[in-house]
Amino acid sequence: MKVSEMLEAPCVQVLLFIRNQGEVRYSKLSELISSRGTLSLNLKHLEREGLIQRRVVVTKPIQSFYSLTEKGAKVARKLADVKKTLQG
């Protein structure tokens, strides 16, 4: 697998998207990753790794917001640097 292909993995896309947008709602992330199952699974993995954090606002409907942790910001910055380097 090429490095450029790895950077297109859903978890990397999510990290870079949150890095660029700041705190984002689940609905915004679902525009990026259309498969709800894929998105939910990747968000759970990223949260378990300590790269993102979830904030729930109890309203009707319930709203979930995601942001990078300090560790996630460091990883996302390095991934963005790799992507930039590959693009020339």
Predicted confidence at residue 63, as pLDDT, reads: 93
pLDDT at position 88 over 80: no
Predicted confidence at residue 39, as pLDDT, reads: 95
Run of H or E including 54: strand 52-57
Query: Where are the chain's structural domains?
Result: 3-87
pLDDT tens, position by position, 6-52: 889 999 999 999 999 999 999 999 999 989 899 999 999 999 999 99
User: What CATH code is assigned to 3-87?
Assistant: 1.10.10.10
**Residue in this structure with the two tokens 């490095």, named with its chain if needed:** 3
AA letter at 34: S
Predicted confidence at residue 3, as pLDDT, reads: 79
**Helix extents (H) in the chain:** 3-6, 10-21, 26-32, 36-48, 70-87
Predicted confidence at residue 74, as pLDDT, reads: 98
